[in-house]
Amino acid sequence: MVTGPRFTRWHDGERLGWRVIAQLSLTPRKHRVLVVDDHRETAENVCTLLSTLGHDAVLAENGTTALALAQQFDPDVALLDIDLPDISGYELARRLRSAQSHPLFLAAVTGWAQGRDSAPALAAGFDRHVLKPTTADMIRSILEQASQSTALVP
């Protein structure tokens, strides 16, 4: 349990202390994010953004590598491309879902023209479906939604 400041030696210190506590409680939680995209530069850019935002991120360029990394890295969020060279992102989502022992937030991030229809992604177990190109705001939005959805799970 965290309690706020009680007394300080400096003027207005208690109020400042409470503001700091409030800011810390509003800071989004740190995520472990698996980024899967066969376009390496895209995956690296997303991982760099995630690291800058304070999250841990690893990348995989195909589904087989992603499955192996997921066992070691134990992500709580995965950003998956749909068109992968070995297995589809839909199949990867199903496999990741079945292998995880804790909540996993899955976001389909696709550039496919057919990917405009989110129904197959949601049926495969994705929590969110977005079209490329993504922005930093979109990635933040995905992480905020992941924080909210996993906070609801006991």
Q: Residue 24's pLDDT band (boundaries 50, 70, 90)?
A: very low
119-139 mean pLDDT: 92
CA 26 to chain CA centroid, nearest Å: 17
CB distance 78 to 59 below 8 Å? no
- For residue 15, name the pLDDT band (cuts at 50, 70, 90): low
Query: For residue 73, how many other CB atoms are within 10 A of its CB?
Result: 16
Average pLDDT over residues 16-35: 67
- What is the arithmetic mean of pLDDT over 52-74? 96
Lowest mean pLDDT among 3-7, 16-20, 37-41, 46-50: 3-7
Using pLDDT thresholds of 50, 70 and 90, give the confidence band for residue 101: confident
What one-letter code names the amino acid at 60?
A: A
Give, in order, the Cα–Cα distances in Å from 19 to each of 6, 25, 28, 29, 83.
13, 10, 16, 18, 46
Mean pLDDT, rounded, for 62-66: 98
Q: 33 pLDDT exceeds 50?
A: yes
C-alpha separations of 31 from 36, 38, 58, 113, 119 in Å: 16, 22, 11, 29, 26
pTM score: 0.79
The pLDDT value recorded for residue 143 is: 96
